Every structure is written in structure tokens, then in C-alpha cells.
Amino acid sequence: MAANPNDEDFDEAPAFIDMNSAVEVPDDTNNEDTMMGDEAMVDDADEALASKLPNLNNESSSSQPVIDQSKATFNSHTDAVYAVASHYDASSHTLSIASGGGDDRAYLHHISTNTATNQLSQTTTPLSHPHTDSISCLAFNTPYITTDVSGKVQKNLLAVGCYDGAIVLYDAANGSLVQVLEGPSDVEWTCFHPKGGTVLLAGSIADGTIWMYHAPSKSCLQVFVGHEGGVTAGAFTPDGKLVASVGQDGTCRVWAPKTGMSKHVFRLMESMGGGDDGSPGPGLTCLAVGGGTDGKLAICGGEDGKAYVVHISGKKLVATLPHFEEQQQQSNGNNNNNNNNGDAMDDDAEAEPRSIEAVGFCPAAIPGTAHWCATGGVDGILKIWNLNTATSGGTAQLRQRCVREDVPSQSAGITRLTWHASLPLVICSYTDGVVGVWDARVGTMVGTLTGHEDMINDMSVSFVEGSGVGVVVTGSDDKMVKMFEYNP
């Protein structure tokens, strides 16, 4: 899977960006076309996911009260919470949480622990920028901060992305406004560069562009253009030398940050085509990078019920993972199911939920789990795959099929998943408001975290180094932000 060292297509210089040759794209702050009104896409992300799910009446939750296992709850929002981000600072025993939602508001929360009394104290700061649409994404640069060439430590920043087209930078310590960046319309996702945290990416679900900014100089460095539909997810590779993105056009694209040029296009779902009515075909929904021994694998989840694993620099499709089962099988527990191709769908199969909403690679440092990855779908099933057995472009070994026993089949879909940093565990959030923890080795649920009364839209997990404790932050349709602790 290693890249060809003689491939002249790729940037060889270890430096990420040469500021002397960077291209600055001026912002047209008076262009009203970049701003969206209150009526535009307020709940599009939530409605898109809900449309893929069966009718969820949550009858079980109405018959008995939900036990709240959270350590802290924030009820600042007056509408559904669509995005959360978090960072735990071990030196100060402080957890920073950002949240944003359908009320067009974003908040910065802090939870501090008094080590002498083990008591928690929490604060909430409303963030000041007056958004006119739903908050869609949030990101801290704190995990990536280093000193720059002058020896100056860069500022801790929080980026807030919104469907009104604004990307707002705040001081992550106190919530004071730093800068408002104008960029693509309908910002869907944002992330910081892993080497220093001074460069920011933001992708649009409306115009299909990706913008890259240099935070200290408040300038736009590049605009990546090529997707033929909305960009649903994107990320820098762990070494920061490339950008990967996936979109509604069914492609995964690899970009060179220094030049803004496309390195390669994986047309993963091109053969699916569109509908008879001219509607677009199924697209890609989610992305994870950093897989494989060289960190160059990416996994893309699709609305067609498949996940695609590609080698970014090698320009190769490594595996196609058939998450959706054409012939749904009866499952009374967790089991290994390596025969997942199934027979032809029956007449009602087209109506079944297919989309993969969450993907992730197992950290390479976890013993005995090299080349493992996970897929989670609206069908509520978590699957663990062994990529070491993948043939070129073919499928891989399905190690575990993880199905909840406490709810009817397909009544609670998976919305997010995160691998534990040091243990073979996968943490999943569900549409019924539950967080489940799975042992990826044997496919059993080893923990549940409850407290929400509606769908969890977003989840962010931090880990306390050296202890294995996971700090889980969730945002829900019930308008609440909750913090849980999971101690394995």
C-alpha cells in the first residue's frame, strides 16, 4: 500500500506552506450572494439524516424515564444542537466544549475539576457573532498548537462554521471574537491543520468549494474547486501534506494544499448514476483519514450502503466494504458474519435505510488490531473490518457485526463513531439518544451512556492520557449538550 517514491505528482518538500508564494484570495465582504437568509437550509442536515431513517416513535422511551448518566448538562440552546467540539487540558483539568445549533447560536462551555474536592464547576459563554442560520460545524486548534519560527506560541482558537456562510474565529480561552472570515456559502465542515493549527479548511454543502485560510494573517490561501455537488466532509492527512474531501458527486478528491490543484479523483460511485427524474445519485457522506501503517489510507462512507477504502498517495482503491446487507438477516445478538453479500433484494428492499453515516480507523498503536476499521449506518449496525485481508478493490474480512439487543432492529441508527485512543473499543452515538461502547474484538456492547431524550446529532470524544478514561460530549435534538465519562 506504500506510495511510489518516484511518483513526481506529489509535493516532496516537507514544508506545508511557503508564505512567500501563497496566493491570497481577497474576500468580497459586500457580496450578498455569499450570505444565506433565515429560511435557507436551517435544518437541512438534520432532515437529510431523518429522511433516511425508519419512522422512530421511541415508544420504549415514552414508557419509562431515561436515566441521566451524564456528569454535566448545558441547556443554553433553544433549538436542536447540531454540532459539538471538545478538548481536555490535562494540565489544568479543564474540558472546553463548543456547541452550536438550530437556534443560530454558538456557545463556549468550560468544565473544571477541583482536584482536592473532585467537584466540577462549569461556565457558559455566549459567542457574540450574530448568525442568521444554523451552526453546522465547530473545531478547536488547541491539540495542534506549536511555537512558530519566531518562538511565539500560537493562540488557542475556536472556529465556528455556519450555513449563513460565516466562519468565525474566537479565542478558545475566553470566547472573545478574533475574526470573521467570509468564504463559501453554507459551510458544512471545518478543520485545522495538524501541524501547528494555524491553517483552517472549510467546505461548502452548497457550491462544492473548499476554502483554506491562514488564521494569523486572516487571509485566504487557496480555494479548491472541482466537486460537482456539495462537499460533505474533508480533512488534512496526518502529515499535513495533502487534503482529502468527499462529496455528493460520489467522488473522493485529493488536493495539494500548496498549489490548490487536484492530485487525484476517486470516482467511487460514478456507476450509480442518478434517478429517472433527474435527481442526483447517491453520494458520499463521511470520511476518515490516517489509516494503514503509512497513514495514507482514507475511508469514505456512502449513501449506497458501501464504504470505500483508498490509498491517497498511491491512487488506488484498496477495498469496497458492503455494509448494507441486501438480504437483512435475523440477529438475536452479536455475531461474526463473513457472508455479507446476500441474495438479490426483494421488492421492499429499496425502501430500507442504507446510508453509512460514520467511519473510522482503529489507531495503529492498539496491539493486535492493525488494519482494522469500522462502519456505522442508519441501519443501527456497527461493523468491524480487517483490511489486512482485502484484495485490490475487493471486500475485506468482516470481523464483527455489532447489533444492539435493547431496541428493535433498525429502530436506532448510528450518527457518529470514535475509536478509543488506546483500547480496542468503538464509541457510537445513536438516533435514540444513547451512546454505546463496543469491544471490537468480540463484538459485544460493554457500556451504555444515557441521558438524552432524542437523536444525538454530533459527538466529540477526548481521552485522559494515561488513564483510558473517555470524556464524551454529545449534542442532541432535545436541545441539550451533555458530558459523560466512560472508564473502561
Q: What is the pLDDT of residue 61?
A: 42
Question: DSSP alpha helices (H): ranges in 302-396?
Answer: none
What string of DSSP letters covers 189-240? EEEE-TTBS-EEEEEESSS--EEEEETTTTEEEEEE---SS-EEEEEE-TTS
User: Which residues, at least 6 apart from 335, have a Cβ–Cβ distance to it below 8 Å?
Assistant: 401, 443
Q: What is the pLDDT of residue 49?
A: 47
CA pair distance 378, 460, nearest whole angstrom: 19
Ranges of residues in the chain whose predicted pLDDT is under 70: 1-63, 147-151, 270-281, 327-352
User: Which residues, at least 6 apart from 114, have a Cβ–Cβ distance to it below 8 Å?
Assistant: 120, 121
CA pair distance 195, 212, nearest whole angstrom: 14
Q: What is the pLDDT of residue 461?
A: 98
Q: What is the pLDDT of residue 365?
A: 87
pTM of the model: 0.82
Q: What is the pLDDT of residue 358?
A: 98
Q: What is the pLDDT of residue 115?
A: 79
CA pair distance 2, 54, nearest whole angstrom: 42
Task: Tell me if residue 291 falls in helix, strand or coil.
Answer: strand
Distances (CA, A) of 258 to 96, 144, 230, 481: 32, 19, 23, 38
CA angle 349, 380, 426 (to 5 degrees): 145
Is residue 437 within 8 Å of residue 445, measured between CB atoms? yes
Is residue 421 within 8 Å of residue 462, measured between CB atoms? no
Is residue 132 within 8 Å of residue 41, measured between CB atoms? no
CA pair distance 474, 456, nearest whole angstrom: 7
CA pair distance 186, 203, nearest whole angstrom: 8
Number of CB atoms found within 10 A of residue 352's CB: 18
Q: What is the pLDDT of residue 64?
A: 78
Q: What is the pLDDT of residue 9?
A: 43
Q: What is the pLDDT of residue 147?
A: 61
